[in-house]
Amino acid sequence: MRTLTHEHFRRWLAVYDKASEENDPQASADLFAEDARYYENPFDELMIGRDAIYEYWNKGAHTLKDKISCHEILAIKENMGIASWRCRFTVIESGKRLALDCLFVVEFNGAGLCQTFREWWHIRENITT
C-alpha cells in the first residue's frame, strides 16, 4: 500500500472498534505489523511487536466490560491517518463507568497493517451512560 485510502482507514477503525467492544485481543493484535510500535500515551513505555500489543489488549479484556465506541476520521496523508476515537466502558473491579476521548495517529506499512500507533487520551469518570 503506497498511499492510505479513506476506505482502508475506515475499515481498519471499524475492526478496531469491534475488537474493543467485543474484548477480542487477537482481532486487535491482527491489525498491527509483527514489529509494530504502539504508544498508548506519550509518557508510558513503548510497546513493540504484535505479542506485546496482544498482551496489552488481553489485560483490558479481563478488566473492562460494556464497551461502546465510535470514531471520526480527521485526516489522511500518504501512509498516515488521524482519527478521533471515543469509548465508554465499565471497570469490572470498581463498577465505575468511564469515558475516553482519544486522538489516534496511525501509520501503515506496505501490507496495510499498522506500523506505528500513537494515542493521546483524556478520561472522564462517573458518567451515567
pTM over cut 0.85:
yes
Residue 1 belongs to a domain? no
Question: DSSP code of 27?
Answer: H
User: What are the tens digits of pLDDT across the range 84-114?
Assistant: 999 999 999 999 999 999 999 999 999 999 9
* Beta carbons within 10 angstroms of residue 29's beta carbon: 22
The residue written with cell numbers 501509520 in the block is: 107
Q: Taking Cα atoms as reference points, which of 81, 49, 83, 63 lies closest to residue 20?
A: 63
Q: What is the pLDDT of residue 2?
A: 74
Q: Residue 56: is it exposed, middle or buried by C-beta count within 10 angstroms (0-12/13-18/19+)?
A: middle
Above 90 in pLDDT, residue 41?
no
40: containing domain: 6-125
Q: What is the mean pLDDT of the segment spanning 52-70?
A: 93
Query: How many domains are contained in the chain?
Result: 1
User: What CATH number is associated with residue 83?
Assistant: 3.10.450.50
User: What are the tens digits of pLDDT across the range 7-36?
Assistant: 999 999 999 999 999 999 999 999 999 999
Instruction: Write out the three cell numbers for 31.
Output: 491489525
Contact present, 28 and 19 (Cβ < 8 Å): yes
